[in-house]
Amino acid sequence: MRIVLVGPPGAGKGTQAAFLAKNLSIPHISTGDLFRANISRQTELGKLAKSYMDAGNLVPDEVTIAMAKDRMEQPDAVNGFLLDGFPRNVSQAEALDELLESEGMQLDAVLDLEVPEDEVVKRIAGRRVCRNESAHVFHVTYKPPAKEGVCDVCGGELYQRDDDSEETVRKRLEVYHTQTEPIIDYYKAQGLVVTIPALGKVEDVTARAMEALKRVVDDK
């Protein structure tokens, strides 16, 4: 299957993408991973992307699209893929359609992870990270430490990252509503959008998504 995963920041896209890709035996193609891989390997696209990033500018769509095209042409993606973080806007969605059409392919579904805005803010703004080890992550509501402000694993100080503050989260949501959300209407016009309520346990959300994808396959 060829799937695009969309949803606001804090919807759990990365987590769901990993589970779904494993269940469907297709590669999880994340924009963030693409950038990191190209930059670390010092590919021409990576060098180009880094030059924009170092200057504090957004990487142009054509560079992102070229990276995605290169990744989708790898052997492990021949029978399908799950795109996470791409396309990020309507022009990228149009470019993806053109790319797939040129290869005689098309998307099977666009999974829209739906989470209320207040829940998104609660999820992200409640995160606390250990200063000693960033992999030690807690949450004031969903995974509180035994002792407030102290990491259960190593005793390090827990803090809120600047980009997890409520103000920053709401700004990120504004960007999502302005730039990315329009692609949902774009894909709805093609009959590809499947909306998945993304509240509850991770495994329950995955089960809903897998059931929805099964219906997509059955309908074809």
Q: What is the pTM of this model?
A: 0.89
* Domain coordinates in residue numbering, the chain: 2-219
Q: What is the reported pLDDT for 217?
A: 86
Confirm whether 88 is a catalytic residue: yes
Confirm whether 215 is a catalytic residue: no
How many other CB atoms are there within 10 angstroms of residue 113's CB atom? 22
How many other CB atoms are there within 10 angstroms of residue 174's CB atom? 10
- Which of the following is catalytic: 36, 143, 161, 188? 161
- Which of the following is catalytic: 50, 69, 88, 170? 88
pLDDT digits (tens, 9 = 90+) for 179-218: 999 999 999 999 999 999 999 999 999 999 999 999 998 8
- Which of the following is catalytic: 71, 127, 128, 208? 127
Q: How confident is the model at residue 121 (pLDDT cuts 50, 70, 90)?
A: very high
Confirm whether 131 is a catalytic residue: no
Confirm whether 36 is a catalytic residue: no
Q: Which amino acid is present at 72? A: M
Outline where 59-149 has alpha helix (H).
61-72, 90-102, 117-125
Confirm whether 123 is a catalytic residue: no
At the second CATH level, the architecture of 2-219 is: 3-Layer(aba) Sandwich (3.40)
